[in-house]
């Protein structure tokens, strides 16, 4: 009976692959937000980067796939925050929100990475 219970705790390969892909995606998103935040400090480059990212987010948001809509909303929001970081009164709030988003994505990436590696350990 004990072996059956242990086998039910072993994650499936599809669940492991989803965890691994999520970990990579969240971590890449965090790195992207940190880079975008750095670009927001450069006067002309920040406006160009914010505009391009906003347009890419709008394009993804208009997709029919629900996952693309979610990603598009996040990307569009990041672009808008970079553009808002050029407005003097809103700049501190926009910068803070970009930092919080980047740290949050990094935390989710690390968490999913830990769950992925623990699942791999259980499968071996």
Which tens digit of pLDDT belongs to each residue from 61-83? 998 888 888 889 989 999 999 99
Q: pLDDT per residue over 7-22, tens digit each?
A: 667 888 889 999 999 9
Mean pLDDT of the residues in the chain: 89
Sign, CA torsion 32/36/39/44: positive
57 occurs within a structural domain: yes
Q: Is the pLDDT of residue 106 over 90?
A: yes
Cα 77 to Cα 7, 29, 114: the distances in Å are 43, 13, 28
CA distance 95 to 27: 19
**Parent domain of 84:** 13-123
Amino acid 53: pLDDT? 94
Number of domains the chain is built from: 1
Q: Is the pLDDT of residue 4 over 90?
A: no
- DSSP3 helix / strand / coil % (the chain, rounded to 5): 85, 0, 15
2 occurs within a structural domain: no
């Amino acid at each position: 009976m004990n072996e059956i219970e242990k086998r039910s705790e072993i994650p499936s390969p599809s669940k492991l692959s989803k965890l691994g892909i999520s970990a990579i995606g969240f971590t890449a998103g965090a790195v992207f937000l940190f880079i975008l935040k750095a670009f927001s400090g450069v006067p002309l480059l920040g406006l160009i980067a914010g505009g391009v990212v906003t347009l890419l987010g709008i394009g993804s948001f208009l997709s029919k796939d629900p996952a693309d809509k979610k990603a598009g909303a996040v990307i569009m929001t990041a672009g808008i925050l970079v553009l808002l970081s050029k407005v003097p009164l809103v700049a501190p709030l926009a910068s803070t929100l970009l930092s919080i988003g980047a740290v949050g994505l990094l935390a989710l990436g690390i968490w999913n990475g830990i769950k992925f590696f623990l699942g791999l350990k259980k499968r071996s």
